[in-house]
Amino acid sequence: MEIINNLALGISVAFTLENLMYCALGVTIGMFIGVIPGVGHLAAISMLLPLTYYVPATTALVMLAGIYYGAQYGGSTAAILLNLPGTPSSSVICLDGYPMSKNGRAGVALFMTTIASFVGSFITVIVLAAFAPPLANFAVAFNSADYFAMMLLGLVAAAILVQGSPAKGLAAVVFGLMLGMVGTDVSTGIQRYTFGLTFLYDGINIVAIAMGIFGVTEVIANVGKVAQIKNDQKITFRSLLPTKRDVKDSVFPILRGTGIGTGIGILPGTGTSIGSFIAYALEKRISKDPSKFGKGAIEGITAPESANNAAAQSAFIPTLTLGIPGDAVMALMLGALLIHGITPGPNVISDNPDLFWGLVVSFLIGNLLLLILNIPMVGLWVRLLKIPYPILYPAIILFIVIGVYSINYANMDIMLVAMFGVIGCVLLILGFEPAPLLLGYILGPMMEENFRRAMLISRGDLMVFLERPVSATFFALIALFLCWSIYSAIKQRRSPVEGEL
């Protein structure tokens, strides 16, 4: 039985003291930043990215992943108690979670969202373990032309599915691709975009970009906005217990939410928020009594909560099997792999089975830990909401700058963080999403390498991309995506003149 051997391998990896410790550290940090509004998981993951230089690749991924799915658990707490989403994906939870809390059912809401999170994650981890290896086996036969086409599809999909205008999404991707080219060209040794500055010869460090665009920008955008929180609710252990009806009403919404989240998480560029919105909309549509939504319907919190957790786990499927990150968090995961010299792609699972299976088992452990962290200790997390933001953000900025400094002990890296913080703010004002930019930055160098290799093999014939069935399929999908986005833009505005790409 292969699966048993694999799981045994995973258990042997995940249960080492170091990995258990980092798993616990990751989920606790994730829970912490999830609970606190104004600190997102992207900021936290980029803040801890430098730490991955000090630990093995598996351990690094175990911790970073823990932050990601831990934040999905924590995000609902502030949404329920204060009507403030702790993470973007939990903004849907506000709709019914806050009314529940006003009705004096905050405890039940917290308990049920935890259970929904756990079920959603757990099922999706099993899906990941079952489907990722066959998918990777299929993709092993890809050659460089297929790779290039697949990455291009990932970028186009990420740019178009992102919120806001697809043209802006594509522009962000192109800008990211250019950032990825900064430094010495691998094949010719020629400097590109370095302007004669020696510290750019090795390229821009991923940590500097991620910390600037996600960490610093997020802090700047939140200063003064996150008000001093007054929260006097006491959550007793007894108030957590749901009624039989709550449980009965939640079983199918949780399963539907998990299904939606898993599907959405696999698509590139979607992230966890879209999954939870769709899950909420579906529950409202199929409900016998849609009027109860917005007034504290239990389905309105359990379905989206299981969806966003499922999406957080299933996002690992394309990342680990194809090397295509679905969102910015997954791009950072790939960055962590690259830091350790592991090239993302279909070979990751077969070349590093300990990494993949260790990660899968660590997901199960992490989710169990989160269940333990959440239910008995809910009062502690609620109290955390009282930490004022003015104390928090200087600490975040400090850890960002020390973190980036610690990589090369180069103060120019800190300057880059400041620069990307400003760039991130400009992007925010102009309505460009930063996630496609990071995807472009990560995939850019790999794409260029594969493009050049394909061109070398075909002796400069661009038709090679349409002759191979796999790459032709990907290009057809790209064309389909572009047509669909033009069509929906036209349909939305009813006039072809006003359609924006």
* Contacts to other proteins by CB under 8 A: 51, 54, 165, 167-168, 170-171, 174-175, 177-178, 181, 185, 187-188, 190, 192-193, 216, 219-221, 223-225, 390-391, 393-395, 397-399, 401-402, 405-406, 409, 411-412, 414-415, 417-418, 421-422, 425, 428-431, 448, 451-452, 455, 460, 498-501
CB of 493 to other proteins, least distance (A): 8
352 within 8 A of 377, measured Cβ to Cβ: no
DSSP structure class, residue 214: I
Rounded to whole angstroms, the Cα distance separating 19 from 35 reads: 24
CB of 42 to other proteins, least distance (A): 17
Both tokens of residue 469?
A: 């069935």
Residue 9 burial (CB < 10 Å; 0-12/13-18/19+)?
middle
CB of 32 to other proteins, least distance (A): 15
CB of 291 to other proteins, least distance (A): 32
Rounded to whole angstroms, the Cα distance separating 31 from 151 reads: 32
CB of 406 to other proteins, least distance (A): 5
Question: Where do the DSSP E strands lie in 342-471?
Answer: none
Cα Rg for the chain, rounded, in angstroms?
A: 22
Residue 100 burial (CB < 10 Å; 0-12/13-18/19+)?
buried
Of residues 215 and 253, the one with the C-beta less far from other proteins: 215
CB of 138 to other proteins, least distance (A): 29
CB of 165 to other proteins, least distance (A): 7
C-alpha dist (Å) from residue 311 to 128, 169, 170, 295:
11, 21, 23, 26
Of residues 163 and 411, the one with the C-beta less far from other proteins: 411
Of residues 9 and 486, the one with the C-beta less far from other proteins: 486
Of residues 135 and 410, the one with the C-beta less far from other proteins: 410
Of residues 398 and 479, the one with the C-beta less far from other proteins: 398
Of residues 180 and 300, the one with the C-beta less far from other proteins: 180
Of residues 415 and 476, the one with the C-beta less far from other proteins: 415
From the list 295, 327, 332, 294, the residue with the least C-alpha distance to 312 is 327
Rounded to whole angstroms, the Cα distance separating 138 from 45 reads: 31
Both tokens of residue 281?
A: 């909309």
